[in-house]
Structures are given as C-alpha cells and as structure tokens.
Chain A
Amino acid sequence: MTSQEPTCWSLVEGAREGRADARARFADAYLPVVRAYLLARWGRGPLREGVDDAVQDTFVECFRDAGALSRVSGGGRSRFRTFLYAVVRNVARRREERWQRDDLRRSPLEGDGEHPEARDARLSVAFDRAWANAILQRAVQRMRADARNGTDEARRQVELLRLRFTEDLPIRAIAERWDEDPASVHRLYARAREGYKRSLIVEMRFDQPELTAAELESACVGLLGLVGD
C-alpha cells in the first residue's frame, strides 16, 4: 500500500476536517451499507420513507465536529465496521422512539412481535451482509472501471465473468460463442479471477488497512461467510 492510497481512516480524517471529496467518497463507500441496514430494519413499514433522512442523520453524526467519529481513537480503529453499526443503530432507534411518541396508530413497526435480542442479531447479520456485499460490488465496479480504461484483455476478462456468473453460461458455451478454444477461455478465466481478486483486495485494504496481505486474502474469502453463501 502506498501512503497516498485512501483508507476508511484517511477519509474519516478528511471528512472531519470538512473536505468535500472525503465526505463524498465516504458516502460512496458506506451509504449502501447504512441504507441496506435501515431498509432491513424498517422494511415496508411507515418509517421506510425516512430511510434517506436517517442515512443523512448517520453521516451528519459521523461528520460533525463533536460527533461520533471524533470519539474514535487509534486504538479502536480495527473496529470501524462495529463503530458504523453502532452509529446507524442509534440513529434508527432515535427515529423509532420519535415515531412512537408522535403516533401509534398506523401500520406496525418492523420487528414488532420479535424478541429484541433476536431482532438485534438479525439486523446485525443484515448489516454485515450489506457491508460484505458492498465490498464485493465495489470490487466489481473497480474492475469494470479499470477495464474501461485498460486493455482489450481486461475488458474481455470482465465480459467473461459476466457471461459466466451473471448469465450463468458454462465456459464451453462461452468459448463457442466467442469461437475460441475452451482451454484458452479457461486460462482467460483464471486470469480474470486473479484480476477480481486484486480489485477486491484493494477494496478490503481500504476498509481494513491494518491487515497483512495474508490476512486480507483470508478476509476476502471470508466475505462469503458474511453474505450467507
């Protein structure tokens, strides 16, 4: 990792200093996670309309001068995900309490009837799943962006992964479609897999810069455990 590469923590610092690019990048990276958590929490219920406002509240809480991020010290930096989870959960709870105070008459809140601990556990899993999915997708987008500005080979790699897993075509069918030898498509696939791996490691390092190379690779494979596969 070069010292110029941004990490979640450099964005945190930038965001706290009020740098617009840091805030925007921070939102890019974590908005989907925060939003997915809130959707999981509120589903189709009456608070769903307030999801975007709650997302904003979460970021405001993170960015404001004496906000939650300012209370994160170096010692707690390996637990960024836990920290963000706590912030969004508190924001959601505050909104639910306000809603309960204001009006009890409409459709019920998501989770009514569920044991609070079970609900917390379910939502925690939903948050981790969203977080893992977000990293996996950021890596896909990174690979796509690199391919757009890269070589023919890079673009073919992305297309191959799309055909293989999005369209669910076997390698043999892809080779036929491309009029190529299946063995060479297999080799291209191996290189594409390596390409995605590199992108994912970059994204993983962004979130967990403290990990070693080996730990990063393990953590990447471990994402599947979080997404439930």
Chain B
Amino acid sequence: MNLDRNPSQSSRDEAWDDVVRHAFAAEPDRAAAGLDAFTPFEQLPAERDRYQIVGEIARGGVGIIFHARDLHLGRDVAMKILHARHDEDRVVSRFVREAQIGSQLQHPSIVPIYEVGRTRDARPFFTMKLVRGQTLARLLAARDALTDDRIRHLRIFESICQAVAYAHDRGVIHRDLKPANVMIGRFGEVQVIDWGFAKVIGEVETDEEGPIETGDVDAAAVQSRLGGALGTPSYMAPEQALGDRPALDQRTDVFCLGGILTEILTGQPPVGGSSAQEAVAHASVGELGETTTRLEHSEADPLLIDLALRCLRRHKRDRPPDARDVARTMTGYLTAVEERTRAAELAAAEQRVRADEERRRRRLGIGAAASLFLLLSFLGAIGVAVWDRRRTATRDIEALLADADRRVAAAEWAAAARAMREATLRGQSAPVDATMRDEVDARLAMYDGVLELIALRLRLDHHPFETNRAYAETFRRVIGSEDHPSPEQIVGYGKGRPATVRAQIALSLDDWAARSWLRLPRRDSAEAGAAMLGASTKWSRLVEAARVLDPDPWRRRLRDATLAGDVGQLLTLAAELELESRPPESAVLLALALYPLPEPAGWPATLRVLQCGFRHHPGDFWINGLLVMQSVIRPQRTPQDLDRAVRHARILVSIRPKSPRPRFIHAFALLQRWRGPSAQPGDWEEARQSIRAGLSLDPRDVVLRIASLMMEGRRDEARRVSSDRLPEGASIPQRMRNELEAVFAPK
C-alpha cells in the first residue's frame, strides 16, 4: 500500500472503511492472531446459547481446541474449532471427517465425540470428552530413572494397544501414534487422542488426504514441506516417511506402537536426527541408529525387547500384522509377570513356613519317631492354614499399596489416605511377614506426612492467628524435629520423595506463608505492599523452600514475583488466563500474594483471580472463604461486595456443614451487610441462627461464644471470654477483639 498518496475524500473514506472493517471483523479471531491472552472467553466463537468457551487447551495445524462448558448438559467438554483461515472445502471436509471417524470409534480408551456443529461465524467444530490429566510423554519425561513405574507404563501401553486394535478391527488407522498423543486421566484412564490424521483403510485417496498448508503459525507446515509425509518423524515408519500414503496400513501404526514401547524402555524414541529432515531421512530407510543397542541394554525383559524390535522392522511384512497382535503379546507378558510375582510370593511363603517348622522342631527337641510324625502332621496342617492366610493378606496389602501409589501419582489424596489406612490396618491385624510390614511402614513414612499436611490445608479454617502454630506443629510432627522446623529441614525431608509429594509439601509451605500475609497490614502503594512480602524474611524463607521443592514453572514465576516484590509480574500472572487450568491452590496463593497491594491495583486483580478460581473450583473452601473475606475487608467496599460476601459465605457453610467456623464467617458477612445501606430484612436473624448452629457444633469455640454474647448484648461477659486464653494456648489479638465487638453488637 502506498503510504504517500494523497487520496480524495471519497477514496480516503474507502480506505478507512477497510481499516474499520478489518479491525472489527478480525476481533473475534484474536485468538488466532495470538491475542487470546486479552480476549474475554465469552467473545471467542462458539455456538450461540449452548457452549461457553472457558479457555484454550491446544492449537494445532487445522484447529484450535478449547475447553468449553456445555450449558445444556452442564458438563465441561473439549471443543475443536477449525481455524478461521481454513475455509477451503477440502480442509473443512477433512475436519468433519476427523469427527466422523472419531464418532464411529466407541472404546473406553478413545476420546468420544459428542457433537458436530458450526460456530456463529460458520466455522465447523466438534465437541468431545474433556480429558483432564497429562500426556504419556510428560509422564515418561518425569521419571527419575527409566525403570520407575515400569509396570504401570507397560499397562498403559497395553491399553493403547487395545484401543488401536479396536480401531484396526474397524478398519481405521491413526497414523500419528506417539506418547504426546496419549492422555492419562486423573483416574488412570488411558485415552488415545488426535485422530486428525486417521484414515479408513481401503477408502480411495483424495486430495483431502493430502497435507494441508497451515500457514505461518503451525508446525504441520513442516510436515507438508517434508515430501507429503504425515506424522512425527521420530516415530514414523519407513513407508510413512517416504510419503507413500497408499502403502499405509495397520502395520504403520504397529511401527509407532513399537516406538512408544521403545520410549518406555529406553527413554528415547526410535528415530533420531539433528533436524526433522534428517529424522525423516533416517525413518525412510528404517535407520534406527543406536535404538537396538539401547533396547538391548535397557535391562528390560527380553520378550519386550523382542516385541519392540519386531514392531520397528523396516519392512511391513516383518512386523506383527496389527495392534491386536501386539496387545495379545503385552497381555500375555503382564499376566506372566503377575503369575511370576505370585509364584515367587508362594515360594517365599513356603520357605518361611519350612523355616518356622524347623525352628520349632529344634526347640521342642523331638526324639521319638511317633511323636515326630504326629507333631509334623499337626504343624503341617497349621502351616498350610497360616500360609494361605498370609498369602491372601499379602496380596491384599500389595493391592492397597499399589492403589495408594496410583492415587498419589494422580493427586487423589483422600483416596490415597484411605488406601494407606486400610493397608496399615491389614498389616497390623493380618499374619503378614516382617518384610511386608516394613513395606507398609516405608510407604507410610513416604506418604503419611504429606497426607497430614494436605488434610491440614483442606480443613484449616482457622483464623490467621491460629494458622502459624497449626502449620509449625504439623510440620514438626511430620518431619520429626524437636523444635520449629527450618525451611532447610523441610527441603531435606522432601528429598527422595515423589514429585507429587514434593509439590504438595511446597504448596503447604506456600499456604503457610501466604496465610500469614493476611496478618500484615495493607500498604499505601502497590510497590510497598509487594516489597513487604519480599522483605518479610520469615515468610520468604518458606517460599524459597517451596521453590526448591517444586519445579512447576507457573508457581515458580509466582514465587519469584513474590520474593522480588514484583507487582507488575503479580498483576501479569493475575491477568493470564492460564490460571483457568490450575489447581485451586494456585488461585488462592496468587490471591493472597495480591492481598497486601492497595486499591486500585490490587483489588480488581484479586477479585478476578478468585472469581476465575471459583468458576473452575466452585466447591473449594478457600476460594470461597477468600471471596468472603476480601470482599468484606475491602476499604472502599460497595453493596455488591457485601452481597458477594454473603453469597459465598452461604456456599462456605454448605461446603463444610459440620464445621463451626464457616458459620462464624457467614454471620460476619451478614452483619457487615446489615450495618450498611444494602441491609436485607432477615440479615440479623440469619446471622444469629448461624452463630447458634456453630455453637451447637462446637460449644467451646471461643470466637463463636464471643459473637453470641455480643449479639445478646452481654458485652462485659464477651470481653471476659475474649481476654481468656484459647484452649490451644494462643490468645485473641486485640485488633480482632475490637472487630468482633464492632460487628456483632446490636445497632
């Protein structure tokens, strides 16, 4: 466009028409332009009325996958929408084809397709099950040693084989199988995803099958440049790397399965290269480099090594015919492993029984042959019974420990605690041998502490002045230190424990530090508020310890920002929509880090973080609790703030109906509103009933007693109670006493 022209008024208007058109027409497609971080989700394209977009999950060559809410059915779904730039018929029909193929595959390990439709700007989309979890690629990369959790990974591999076998039975091949395309859900479920390259065997090849030119922002462009080869070079079969699409069949997927198995056993995919082109070149001639050597030195079972090598053979005819064959081999192997384990247990049990008999015989000093015969018969009968009970109990405990391991890895803490409790009880009551008891004890030592910390974090509805002591005592108990544990001791305790456990310890440290900030006064400026956090040595040491224990990049940024007193970074984190995909602890931590920042900088960011957290974790106690507290204590609070506080206080009570403290918070919020211009009839009465209900749950709760006495107008009595020491030895700070009097006294 010529910038120096001097157009007439009319042509200038036309030029401006174009500018305005572009600006407004492009607006809904800001995500595609890389501006999604600033786009409120509701502005993104979605089918009118039915789906609400809540966040972006991933971006591919052809489409974008969003996390969406199905308002009709009240469930979260994954929604794949075709890029706006793709409006050619062949791309659209291929996109729809992906949905059609996916919808015809109904298997527990294949993501189900729910619906196909068009967005309000006429782009095709389909919705599918939203799988929350992590990819196998991440799971494998997180291993400390290649043999970690090997049996678990092999079971996952078996599930992948079963899913692909099902697809093969229906004449469908995936063509891009790799660890990154396998999701492991929170409950251990395995899902093969991304069927975008899938093909029905025997269908005539059309242009639709060809590579799609995906423009600047897409890695698939690489694939189109590489001779029409579809897939990922590191896992490609030779025929795939050669771009010989008619030659692709089930055995092409079998090669990829061999690649996944190879990565499980060796930590590396089968095909390497210093560039994509080199990798494709290696793949095209079946050049596996050092993969064979790596497999042979992997200390894996020879059967697995043989299977991987057979799958990776250069010529299709030398590979297993389909995924069903691979699945059968895997199932046979895993069954054999279980049988071997069981046989070893039986042999060990028999050996122990024999040793027991021998010891007893020696002790008894048996002489007479008749007596010996009778005694041996008797001991034999007992031995069989004991052996049988031991075998059953050992198997049960092993299953419980394995279940606990799985739950810990999936961060299902309540279920993990249940499994551990049960394993402990069985270990104490059943006739298991010392090795098994040691195993239970070792697992308890590994997990028990963190389970206690998590339990504390979840139930800690204490006032901030009680938090410090509760955490110090729990950490002392968990670590076994005699006095207040230092951050260094805590870091030492976390060493050698699984990553999920270390992350939980770190979250507890964050929580400890962050809740303590609530005791700090607000500052006059954002910088002073943030600097205060960083300068508070006591708490910053806890955050530093958390930083050492937990490598999560997002939380590391948050911790760094807090330690550096970096207001800009804190506000940036609050503005980032990726908070949507984070656990509730992250929202709480960020909200608490923003707490000391004064208005106007801090409040909108805090509210945004908490509301975002609430949208995704509506049943989280602390998110609701902070929404109440932050709304109530806000200096320039509005009637809307107080309404919000009451609303979330009611939710708090419903989340923990048997806990007295939410009743106090509920009454507190109601009376704050009752004292202001937005008072509702019934506020006072509802507050009174809440306090009563709280006292009926715990008549010794001092704060509730003070509130109750104040509401009854018995101020002197309330003051006497408030000056008493709490049963735990702490005392109520003067500031809180004043606040209680001010809020709970009748008008």
Contact = CB atoms under 8 A, between A and B. Distances in A.
Given A23-B568, A130-B34, A40 B216 contact: yes
A64 interface: no
A105 B269 contact: yes
A32 B279 CA distance: 33
A136 interface: yes
B617 interface: no
Contact of A39 (B17, B217, B276, B576): B217
A106 B23 contact: no
A139 B23 contact: yes
Nearest to B1: A225
A213 B272 CA distance: 57
A112 B19 contact: no
A81 interface: no
A161 B20 contact: yes
A220 B19 contact: yes
B374 to A, nearest CB: 69
Given A36-B35, A40-B34, A227 B24 contact: no
Contact of B27 (A36, A106, A109, A137): A137
A42 B220 CA distance: 11
Interface in A30-75: 31-33, 35-37, 39-40, 42-45, 48, 52-53, 56
Contact of A165 (B25, B219, B269, B527): B25
B276 A112 contact: yes
A129 B26 CA distance: 12
A166 B27 contact: yes
Contacts of A53: 553
Interface string B654-688: 00000000000000000000000000000000000
Interface stretch (A83-91, A146-154, A175-183, A192-200): A192-200
A23 B22 CA distance: 29
A27 B234 contact: no
B500 interface: no
Contact-residue bracket for chain A: 35 or more
A145 interface: no
A111 B16 contact: no
B219 A223 contact: no
Interface in A123-171: 123, 125-126, 129-130, 133-134, 136-137, 139-140, 161-162, 164-166, 168
A162 B38 CA distance: 18
Contacts, number: 185
Contact of A229 (B18, B269, B273): B18
B216 A122 contact: yes
A35 B571 CA distance: 18
B222 A113 contact: yes
Contacts of A20: 526-527, 530, 566-568, 571, 601
B618 interface: no
B578 interface: yes
B351 interface: no
Contact of A105 (B17, B59, B219, B234): B234
Contacts of A111: 222
A127 B480 CA distance: 56
B512 to A, nearest CB: 27
A5 interface: no
Given A27-B568, A104-B274, A166-B24, A43 B269 contact: no
B566 to A, nearest CB: 8
A2 interface: no
Contacts of B232: 107
Most buried by A among B28, B272, B275, B530: B275
Contacts of B269: 105-106
B410 interface: no
22 contacts: A20-B601, A24-B567, A32-B37, A35-B37, A36-B33, A36-B35, A37-B34, A39-B217, A42-B219, A43-B219, A44-B61, A48-B219, A52-B578, A107-B276, A108-B233, A110-B219, A113-B222, A133-B33, A140-B24, A162-B24, A220-B19, A227-B26
- What are the 3 A-B residue pairs with the smallest beta carbon separation, nearest first? A36-B34, A108-B276, A225-B1
